């Protein structure tokens, strides 16, 4: 991660990004490179991944005592990922390319 990237994100020099932010950036960068996304699309993918992480964090807190319910709620959140990506990638006709490259994108993260 370059210092200019950190500066763009508003991270202080002494503050490192959270693991969730690091993973979201890695996924967004991987998709940008694999699908030739614009910087705006890359940012939208990053934002989707942060939003999904935040939703999952809330579910972890809310359903920590019920493993079955926790798994179900986490899967419900995860199942929205591709439809959210479709909103970003569909107008650029890159969603089908994403679907075809999804196994490699997932494997690299």
Spatial CA neighbour of 98 closest among 38, 50, 36? 36
Report the sign of the C-alpha dihedral through residues 9, 11, 16, 21, in that order. negative
Question: pTM of the predicted model, to two decimals?
Answer: 0.82
In this structure, are residues 79 and 12 in contact, taking their beta carbons and an 8 Å threshold?
A: no
In the chain, where are the structural domains located?
A: 17-108
Q: Which residue has the tokens 């650029």?
A: 92
User: Which tens digit of pLDDT belongs to each residue from 27-48?
Assistant: 999 999 999 999 999 999 999 9
User: Which tens digit of pLDDT belongs to each residue from 49-83?
Assistant: 999 999 999 999 999 999 999 999 999 999 999 99
């Amino acid at each position: 991660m370059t210092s200019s990237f950190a500066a763009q994100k508003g991270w202080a020099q002494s503050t490192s990004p959270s693991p969730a932010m690091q993973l979201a950036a890695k996924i967004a960068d991987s998709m940008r490179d694999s699908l030739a996304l614009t910087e705006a699309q890359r940012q939208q993918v990053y934002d989707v991944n942060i939003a999904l992480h935040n939703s999952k964090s809330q579910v972890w807190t809310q359903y920590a005592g019920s493993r079955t319910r926790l798994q179900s709620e986490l899967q419900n959140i995860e199942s929205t990922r591709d439809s959210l990506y479709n909103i970003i990638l569909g107008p650029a006709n890159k969603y089908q390319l994403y679907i075809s490259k999804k196994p490699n994108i997932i494997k690299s993260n």
